[in-house]
């Protein structure tokens, strides 16, 4: 489906500042960083998780383990995904038993992805706490889920889409609001 860009709400500078702020918040609220693990939800959540881990290393010189979570098998809404069938690997090479888990995703929308992620985590072990970091909170929640750390809150309409572009995969950092329609 063709899409057109409605607005560019964050550029790379704003994104960098958001990351710094969130990393600081995390280190403030988590006294024992040695008990922290970060788990990114595929695909973009993973890169955000890694950036957060790198910042924590920079600030506090602590290596927080980062894991990759694929929640395809826990979804309740197959129609939302384009490549609905492709299930990729979940790679969490450490135990989450009794850990403080920081779950990371790029956009918080209906909340169903996060619900699926929590179900998946609980099948993998029993974390002590689960905190949620999202880069963009765009409203329209359908479940009682809220983020502990938010990069930016963005009111949107349902038909709009929020695209978080990261230079690791998209060549540059920016946050766009797009909507369907538009010319070649």
Partner 1 sequence: MSFKKKHLLGIQPLTKSEILTILNTAESLKEISKREVKKVPVLRGKTIINLFFEPSTRTRSSFELAAKRLSADISSFSKTTSSAVKGETLKDTVLNLEAMQTDALIIRHSASGTPHFLSTFCQSHVINAGDGTHEHPTQALLDAFTIREAKKRLKGLKVVIVGDILHSRVARSNVFLLKKMGAQVLLVGPPALVPPEMSQLGAEIDHDMDRAVKKADVIMMLRIQMERQQKNYFPSIREYRQLYSLTPKRFETAHKKAIIMHPGPINRDVEISTHLADSIKSVILKQVENGIAIRMAVLYLLLGGKERDFTD
Burial class (CB in 10 A: 0-12, 13-18, 19+), 169: exposed
Closest to 137 in 3D by CA, of 112, 168, 109 = 109
Question: Would you say 62 or 73 has its CB closer to partner 1?
Answer: 73
Question: Would you say 28 or 123 has its CB closer to partner 1?
Answer: 123
The CB-of-4 to partner 1 minimum distance in angstroms stands at 28
The CB-of-84 to partner 1 minimum distance in angstroms stands at 6
The CB-of-104 to partner 1 minimum distance in angstroms stands at 20
Question: Would you say 120 or 156 has its CB closer to partner 1?
Answer: 120
The CB-of-89 to partner 1 minimum distance in angstroms stands at 5
Positions that interact with partner 1 (CB under 8 A): 70, 72-75, 78-79, 83-91, 119-120, 123-125
Cα 34 to Cα 47: distance, rounded to the nearest angstrom: 21
| Secondary structure of residue 75 in the 3-state scheme | coil
Question: Would you say 61 or 79 has its CB closer to partner 1?
Answer: 79
Please report, for the chain, how many H helices and E strands are present, in that order.
4, 8
| Secondary structure of residue 47 in the 3-state scheme | helix
């Amino acid at each position: 489906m063709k899409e057109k860009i409605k607005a560019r709400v964050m550029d790379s500078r704003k994104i960098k500042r958001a990351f710094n702020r969130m990393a600081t918040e995390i280190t403030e609220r988590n006294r024992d960083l040695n008990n922290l693990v970060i788990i990114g939800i595929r695909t973009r959540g993973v890169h955000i998780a890694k950036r957060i881990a790198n910042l924590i290393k920079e600030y506090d010189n602590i290596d927080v383990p980062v894991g990759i979570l694929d929640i395809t098998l826990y979804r309740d809404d197959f129609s939302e995904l384009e490549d609905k069938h492709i299930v990729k690997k979940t790679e969490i090479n450490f135990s989450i038993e009794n850990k403080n888990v920081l779950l990371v995703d790029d956009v918080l929308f209906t909340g169903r992805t996060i619900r699926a992620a929590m179900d998946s985590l609980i099948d993998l072990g029993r974390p002590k706490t689960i905190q949620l970091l999202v880069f963009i909170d765009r409203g329209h929640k359908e479940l009682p889920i809220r983020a502990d750390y938010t990069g930016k809150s963005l009111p949107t309409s349902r038909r709009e889409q929020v695209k978080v572009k990261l230079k690791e995969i998209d060549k540059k950092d920016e946050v766009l609001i797009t909507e369907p329609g538009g010319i070649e």
